[in-house]
Amino acid sequence: MLINKETFKQDFRKKLINMYAEDIEESSNSHKYFALASLIRDYASENWLKTNKKYTNNKEKQIYYFSMEFLIGRLLHSNLLNLGIMDICNEALTELNIDLDEIEEVENDAGLGNGGLGRLAACFLDSMASLGIAGHGNGIRYTYGLFEQQIIDGYQVEVSDNWLKKGNMWEVRKENKAVQIHFGGNVTTTMENGRLKFLEHDCETILAVPYDTPIIGYDNSTVNTLRLWSAEPLNKDFDFASFSRGEYSKATEYKALIESISQVLYPDDSRQEGKILRLKQQYFFVSAGLQSILRRYKKLKEPINNFHKYIAIHINDTHPSLAVAELMRLLIDEENLTWEDAWYITTNTIAYTNHTIMSEALEKWPIDMFKRLLPRIYMIVEEINRRLVNEVREKFKDENKVTAMSIIGNGQIRMAHLAIVGSHSVNGVAKLHTELLKYQELKNFNDFYPNKFNNKTNGITHRRWLLQANPKLSNLITESIGDHWIKEPDKLIELKPFSLDTSFREKFDKIKLENKIAFSNYAKATYGMDIDPNSIFDVQVKRLHAYKRQLLNLFNIMDLYRRLKENPNLDIIPRTFFFGAKAAPSYYLAKKNIKLINTVAYKINNDPQINGKIKVFFLPNYSVSLAEKIIPCAQVSEQISTATKEASGTGNMKLMMNGALTLATLDGANIEIRDAVGDGNIVIFGITKEQVLDYTKNHSYNSYEYYNNDFRIKLILDSLLNSSLGVSPNEFSDIHNSLLKNNDEYFVLRDFASYVEAQNKIDSLYRNRDNWSKSCIINVANSGIFSSDNTIKQYYEEIWK
């Protein structure tokens, strides 16, 4: 594809005219954005077609990443970068007097995910395409993404995210590839050619319509596909007959009921709710995805028994684990395979990643709900379970294990067990997490299937999180070591010697400061915040959850505030603490935490005695595009979850890659970050996994001890109940209770002293600016191993083969 500045200008002009009959001069930013996006899609479409043809002609193995969430964010910038036309576009637009940054702000985030799990799926798509791997996404085209968060009077208020309102230039509706999905009804059996056949009757049938988005590889010609399904009634046409009969409202009601399946993303990322609509969503996109994969496979004219040699399906947590039973159904009922053959193919096709060991997040469905909605699928799950139970009984001769490992138990279907049994690979997302799965949470299964469990430490795409988010640092890196790090992120290690180079360090520090100034200006314009760009930027951005311990961070701030009040001359480096976090709308305590952060922020930021030495800001509506703004200017990365609770974390990787120093517990991938950068370039605190497991086993933790013996803790907790924060004394009593009466499940009080010490260490480290910069550079240099390119290579070689 030959594009130069002049052809680009022409093409862009033409686009504006074709789409809006407008000249550049009179067009709005919104029209400019849509014209530009449309143009870029045009540029990519030839390769999209070619990639698909190549995959079919070469019969390449196709990988399908099944995920309920794809948190991809914006696509304009990354598509320009990956197509290699960023510079041309920038120069052309500049000559046309158009500011690309402004145009980019028009695009709504595709916020089709809650947090880590959904963002991981997006990073994986980018890496698969950029490595030229035939890997595609399969998910749901939610009409509403994750809610937009507003902060009103310190409280979180959720506003629906109508991200498609203005239109979505990246997607293509493929009506001709729609498939039918059946819910409910009854199953009967007949004999056909000496075999039992299962027939479904009286089902409700709906249509799944795919919308395809091109996933453009970096500087290669690969364009993969993200296929998202939308639910529609079978008969979409306006039913004039029912309208004449006066039944119009009934007909629209029915339409709305069906469309509700792909209407909205569930905003809960930590607790399973057991809502039937969510189960419908899961079956909907799993069945649609499998049917479309099967249809494509048949075009290869390969025998069905070779399916697993040409297809790999990866399920992102248990949300798509119905794929196990649905693939069995398709192979047995539609393709007439025997149970044994179907099982061989299914288990050799599917692989499963676990993303959490928090028991409240493990999906379980009530049998009666499941059976009513998916009667045939339930029969298959029962049969899978019958066979599993027999084998476990045979191997372990232990009824307790049989009960514990069963897929069906306590009136529920345990989706994690279904996923484990139906896959050839089960992986955790960081070393510690995988160890906990193998030797604690899923020990029985690991004993039963000794070779199934493996680790794949998470990763992030360095193209979005460094090249795109931090162009200045990227340029400095390229000037210093060349640009091969973009294709081979491990090459970032060549930056290491530069940590000793004074002139490099100066440039590095200057870029950090410029990023901080740019963000401060943005925050002033957007939120009216007064930020001191010369203060240390201390950042905790992630979902709000008790185990992530935003409270611990806040308690240190409250203690620091007290010390400053007692001694206004206290010698500290000015610090700005940033929080960004959405709470699940139904997560009461998490929302209280947001109110508390905002209450403390208000008090401190408006206290003239503090004189700006510390400031606290809650950045509303943390999202992919906000992450791209705050991460490049962060200097301290808060990764302070209770050991054993954070499966991996990926924000930790994004922040180190942008030269922040990590302040962390030994949890998730923090451990691997420490191993990479060395103890001298990270600040570790807090109790270890062994201590946590010990406390839990012996019930030996008593949070009152810490309240009674540490006056600082006492002052902080008491202030939650008295009037010193300037709110009603009941406002935070439930937080207080969670820490004392309910014995502080996540050891906030236990780790408080150690955390304060670690924070003081940060302050003292920062005073030696040469060493600080050195450490930051060493962090960037070692971040390449956390590129999702590396993670994907491991999935590809060890799981998808």
Q: Minimal distance in Å, beta carbon 63 to ligand 26W?
A: 18
- Categorise residue 107: left if φ over 0, alpha if ψ from -120 to 50, beta otherwise: beta
Q: Which token pair is 122? A: 């997006």
548 is catalytic: yes
State which residue, 210 or 459, has the beta carbon closest to ligand 26W: 459
Residue where the block lists tokens 């409240």: 360
Closest CB to ligand 26W among residues 116, 580? 116
Query: What's the length of the chain?
Result: 801
Judge contact between 540 and 579, C-beta under 8 A: yes
At closest approach, how far in Å is the CB of 116 from ligand 26W?
A: 3
Beta-carbon neighbour count of residue 503 at 10 Å? 8
Q: Which residue has the tokens 């019930």?
A: 699
Buried b (16+ CB within 10 A) or exposed e, 283-306: bbbbbbbbbbbbebbeeeeeebee
Query: Which residue's C-beta sits nearest to ligand 26W?
Result: 116
From 9, 32, 74, 355, the catalytic residue: 355
In angstroms, rounded to a whole number, what is the distance separating the alpha carbons of residues 615 and 546? 23
Question: Which residues, including other chains, have CB under 8 Å from residue 253's CB and lie 6 or more apart?
Answer: none
> Quick one: which of 529, 587, 634 has its CA closest to 147?
587
The candidate with the shortest Cα–Cα distance to 78, out of 132, 147, 129, 151, is: 129
Which element (helix H / strand E) includes 785? none
Closest to ligand 26W by CB, 155 vs 588, is 588
245 catalytic per annotation: no
| Cα–Cα distance for residue pair 740/784, rounded to 1 Å | 42
Distances (CA, A) of 422 to 325, 333, 414, 416, 659: 8, 18, 13, 10, 42
Bridge pairing between strands 195-201 and 186-192: antiparallel
Q: Please, which residue, 369 or 389, has the CB nearer to ligand 26W?
A: 369
β-sheet bridge partners, residue 684: 664
Active-site option among 543, 582, 645, 774: 543
Q: Which is nearer to ligand 26W, 356 or 468 (CB)?
A: 356
Told to judge if 613 belongs to the known catalytic residues of this protein, a careful annotator would answer: no
Catalytic residue among 9, 319, 542, 613: 542
**Which residues contact ligand 26W (rule: CB under 6 A)?**
114-117, 120, 268-270, 272, 317, 355-356, 361, 363, 429, 458, 646-650, 668
Catalytic residue among 314, 548, 595, 645: 548
Establish whether 750 is a catalytic residue. Answer: no
CB of 242 to ligand 26W, least distance (A): 38
Task: Find the shortest distance in angstroms from Cβ 228 to ligand 26W.
Answer: 18
Q: Give the nearest distance from C-beta 420 to ligand 26W in angstroms.
A: 15
SS3 798: helix
Q: Which is nearer to ligand 26W, 111 or 668 (CB)?
A: 668
How far apart are the C-alpha atoms of 794 and 800, rounded to whole Å? Answer: 9
* Cβ closest to ligand 26W, residue 110 vs residue 402: 110
Catalytic residue among 319, 433, 654, 774: 654
Q: 26 vs 16, 29, 105, 136, 283, CA distance in Å?
A: 10, 10, 19, 39, 47
Q: Cβ of residue 374: shortest distance to ligand 26W, in angstroms?
A: 18
**Residue 186 phi, psi dihedral angles, 5° rounding:** -130, 165
Sign of the Cα pseudo-torsion (298, 304, 310, 312, in order): positive
**Which single residue is written with the structure tokens 């990227």?**
474
Q: What are 237's two structure tokens?
A: 């046409």
CB 758 within 8 A of CB 685: yes
CB of 317 to ligand 26W, least distance (A): 5
541 vs 564, which CB is nearer to ligand 26W?
Answer: 541
**Least distance to ligand 26W, CB of residue 265, Å:** 10
Least Å distance, CB 547 to ligand 26W, is 9
Which residue type, as a one-letter code, is found at position 174? K
Nearer CB in complex with ligand 26W: 77/433:
433
Q: Which C-beta is closer to ligand 26W: that of 647 or that of 780?
A: 647
What is the residue whose two structure tokens read 């939120």? 527
Q: What is the 3-state secondary structure (H, E, C) of 513-540?
A: HHHHHHHHHHHHHHHCCCCCCCCEEEEE
Least spacing, CB of residue 278 vs ligand 26W, in Å: 8
CB closer to ligand 26W out of 168 and 427: 427
CB of 428: closest distance to ligand 26W in angstroms? Answer: 9
Which string of b and e fits 26-44 if b means at least 16 CB within 10 Å? ebeeebbbbbbbbbbbebb
Alpha helices in 58-147 (DSSP H): 76-83, 86-95, 100-104, 116-130
Q: State the catalytic residue, choosing from 349, 356, 434, 650.
A: 650
Active site residues: 355, 542-543, 548, 650, 654
